[in-house]
Amino acid sequence: MTHNSKHAGNVVMLRGACLWIIMALLLAWSLVGLYNNIDIFKTIFPGSPRRELQAHLDFLIMSALILGFYAAKVSLPWHVRWAMVIGAFTNSSLFLMYALFPTLDPLHETFNPIGMVPSIFNVYLYVSLLMTSYGFGKAAVLIFKSTFNENN
């Protein structure tokens, strides 16, 4: 793993983090609409407003994590970079799906665990968790290992 003063090949991480910050801003404005009882927002997000807040915060947290890993300037393999960026989106979007489709939300009174949609959702959920864990976990190990290089 090499240190590089520019992007260390990790520009996809910078782009992804910027997109997820924009998503968090859109969700923040949607929350303003929900909390001010604007009908269109209540129609779009029939689930719990807490789930949209969780999505908003998760997009921000994931963006901060990606930017932190990016700032280390350690070159990461392409599959680790993409797993981080895609995993950050899919992980955060799980909360957003709960807000959009309350029948998927196990904490909502309309939760319906029977049927094909929850099965597809569960596959999405577990693939997301695995991808996010792989991306951030592998990046953490690689950056940790880079601190033991003789050039440091």
String of DSSP letters for 76-128: --HHHHHHHHHHHHHHHHHHHHHHH-GGG-TTSTT----SHHHHHHHHHHHHH
Q: Is residue 128 part of a domain?
A: yes
In the block, tokens 């955060």 appear at 92
pLDDT average, residue stretch 91-114: 88
Q: Is residue 41 part of a domain?
A: yes
Q: For residue 45, what pLDDT is reported?
A: 96
CA dist 125 to 47, 60, 113, 119, 149, Å?
Answer: 18, 19, 14, 10, 37
Number of structural domains (the chain) is 1
Q: For residue 1, what pLDDT is reported?
A: 45
Question: Higher model confidence: residue 151 or residue 59?
Answer: 59
Q: Is residue 3 part of a domain?
A: no
Total Cβ atoms within 10 A of residue 103: 17
Can you say how many angstroms the Cα of residue 88 is from the centroid of all Cα atoms in its chain?
Answer: 3
Whole-prediction pTM: 0.88
Q: For residue 143, what pLDDT is reported?
A: 95
Q: Is residue 77 part of a domain?
A: yes
pLDDT average, residue stretch 33-57: 95
Q: Is residue 134 part of a domain?
A: yes
Q: What is the DSSP letter of 22?
A: H
Q: For residue 115, what pLDDT is reported?
A: 66
Residue 5 in this model has a pLDDT that exceeds 60? no
| Residues of the domain holding 129 | 11-145
